[in-house]
Structure 1
């Protein structure tokens, strides 16, 4: 120990170094750099599809500066349009109009957060719930049926429809949980089948008078939701942001408490880490599977409720899912199945949805590029060694292997 280093300061340095190591090798940094890598690849695609870049590349060797300037203009213009369409439109003449894109982002994020929580909760319990589409459709059908066929005062009607949607989502997911608990049926196969069943069951409902089809109509669509069942607008009628966001935030807080602070959440995590060890410790693994899927389905049901009672109040058809059921898997993966991580991932994907249209409208960037970026995020998250190699991040597993090898050699 040197003269300038005292015994009291050495542990402090060690703690800071440990904290830095945890940050640079943890799951959060992998998610962050996965998004960054996807955006970089998306930038390359934007540049290659831009007509000005293609024209400048034709005489690259005579005037290379024109090509680089065109690349900068296309990429910066695209992401500036993404920002204006999803966060704040700084070209608007009033603050109200300027902040509208952020409210649209939160509107798109609301069902993604709720559905992502349902997928993430199942992940924590050791199950792969890819039945979000079916659970959302059944929740939408139940909420729509209560909304269009029953008459109650507000807010009772709104609350009953919300409860019906969550119950339908829980019931649909509970089928998969029950079959896994009692027969060992794999939840991936079961939820895929349930997605198809829900899709065609909803199509039948929408084409049948007296169930969901609007009275006197031949179109496969429901009637408009009555005012007594519609979720109120949070910021007034000039914005589309509705109280479904509040439901989603409550769901985030509840899921965090359930996983991190409750005894049932401890059982979920134990079964998710090692079901055999959990069974040996006295945990009823079958009950955990069934209970986790019930709660996961109810959380996905909030997404269906927010769509029917908040976003598409003029009536909905078979496309009410809008890809949310499968996007929720990406949100859960990006959020590392953590409630707060899913909240952030849902807002990010909501920004992609809201800003993608602005990119296409103002810059001519194909909206499909946003979908490619989302898919690349999943790809990079699924390959942490690739992300570590791209950004030269330390690998904690490699260090652990070196320590084990040293111990084996010394032994």
Structure 2
């Protein structure tokens, strides 16, 4: 007799399944580490110690996680609308241009708490503007959003090279970067938060954009699950035909969804540009736009899951750097392999263990129903 379908509890769908995927990814990564002649358990201990062993390590882990929260939220908002925004890298790049221009204009005349809100608006506006063109091409011309957003990543990179080499670079500098911002555009460190617990983080670049990322996660939850626009976005994502039948304007929803997604990706730039480098440089995004795709997949496009997945990838970045230092046979390329395995099992193979767990819960539900019926008789 076939096992009936049963809907998995939320704690299984959003908690147990991602955990199983991550554990399997690390088991396979352990085999890779074993193949190069190192002890997987020792490597795992170094990885965790490097990410969470000291206050400064935790600060670096959260610094990386901050960027991934923004890009993960950006991808998730688009996912809910049935759109696959692969342009987070370019939108963050152009968002950095918006934040950088605000910083260059105000850093010598205003304190950080005046510059920061305006820089948030500049980063979000430029990121949303960069997402607007692919959105219009998708909504009005039927151009595939995946193709256009990928191509716009390359256009953004080329535009930034031109601006940093020919426009924004100081005359006295040979490096393709803007001038260093004055103190009015330096985001405050979160060292005080660690000092409350008696910890010191020294020079770790963790800054208040981490708190902004958490705020954006909450606002995305409100948008998607507690607003009319969010209901329209989810309806469009589940069934465009049902959305059209209900009178929802498809062009409007696509454009708004992509602009919100692009704005979130653009705000990622605040973390490295104003919080760490304090100037515009080439490739400050560092692949965070693509990592955001894996973060959104692993977090099931839910803000809480995205925050947790972003911390996991922050751990892989920070702990991986410590691991490659402590175990020279495990190079940075090996760390990329481990990250790739996590992405593989959390994304492409996300449904590998779902049928088995679903059958298990269906059997348990069926057994409970039989037992209950037996007691009633």
Give the shorter-chain TM-score range: 0.7 to 0.9
Equivalence map 1:27-42=2 (5 Å): 27-42=14-29
Corresponding position of 2:144: 186
Q: 1:385 to 1:197 in 2, by over 3 A?
A: closer
Aligned-residue offset at 1:133: 0.8
Decide whether the 8 Å contact of 1:221 with 1:317 is kept in 2: yes
TM-score normalised by L of structure 1:
0.79
Aligned-residue offset at 1:29: 2.5
Q: 1:385 to 1:240 in 2, by over 3 A?
A: closer
Decide whether the 8 Å contact of 1:144 with 1:212 is kept in 2: no
Aligned-residue offset at 1:385: 4.3
Note the residue ranges of structure 2 that are not aligned, 5 or more in a row: 1-5, 193-200, 367-377
Decide whether the 8 Å contact of 1:25 with 1:394 is kept in 2: no
Decide whether the 8 Å contact of 1:25 with 1:396 is kept in 2: no
Is residue 2:100 matched to residue 1:100? no
Corresponding position of 1:271: 236
Give the paired residue count.
Answer: 346
Corresponding position of 1:302: 267
Aligned match for 1:354, one of 307, 318, 331: 318
Corresponding position of 2:80: 124
Aligned match for 1:26, one of 3, 7, 13: 13
TM-score normalised by L of structure 2:
0.86
Larger RCO: 1 or 2 (CA < 8 Å, sep 6+): 2
Corresponding position of 1:153: 110
Aligned match for 1:343, one of 294, 303, 307: 307
Corresponding position of 1:212: 168
Q: 1:342 to 1:385 in 2, by over 3 A?
A: closer
Note the residue ranges of structure 1 that are not aligned, 5 or more in a row: 1-17, 54-73, 89-97, 403-411
Decide whether the 8 Å contact of 2:14 with 2:305 is kept in 1: no
Corresponding position of 2:253: 288
Aligned-residue offset at 1:36: 0.8
- Across the aligned residues of Structure 1 and Structure 2, the Cα RMSD in angstroms comes to 2.2
Q: 1:376 to 1:395 in 2, by over 3 A?
A: farther
Decide whether the 8 Å contact of 2:14 with 2:299 is kept in 1: no
Corresponding position of 2:297: 333
Aligned-residue offset at 1:190: 1.0
Corresponding position of 2:36: 49
Corresponding position of 2:42: 77
